[in-house]
Amino acid sequence: GQSLEQPSEVTAVEGAIVQINCTYQTSGFYGLSWYQQHDGGAPTFLSYNALDGLEETGRFSSFLSRSDSYGYLLLQELQMKDSASYFCAVRGGGSNYQLIWGAGTKLIIKP
């Protein structure tokens, strides 16, 4: 089967750096994406990796290693507004080449 694993919850301090890991097992690979979802809200796209390496977008960076079927999202200079759930999603092969989603990591930020 196809699956993604990410920690259920991560706690960090305001101003710090936090890394959220994602490992995947899919038939085929066509990109790893990260989304942010605040409580009661809709997911919003953060970043995308198709090739190995680091992609940086402001305070957020995302990394991919296809050989390890692994990626992570790095959040720097944490702010209270970053408290949310973060989902990794892989576009795999399978029957329809659609996004497969992880269960999400709830990021708790303490002052």
Q: Least distance (Å) from another protein to the CB of residue 13?
A: 23
Shortest distance, position 27 Cβ to another protein, whole Å: 13
Count Cα neighbours of 15 within 13 Å in the Cβ-side half-sphere: 1
Q: How far is the CB of 91 from another protein (least distance, A)?
A: 5
- Binding interface with another protein (CB under 8 A): 30-31, 33, 41-45, 48, 50, 85, 87, 89, 91, 94-104, 106
Residue closer to another protein, measured from CB, 13 or 38: 38
Residue whose CB is less far from another protein, 45 or 54:
45
Pairing of strands 29-37, 44-49: antiparallel
SS (H, E, C) 28-75: CEEEEEEEEECCCCCCEEEEEECCCEEEEECCEEEEEECCCCEEEEEE
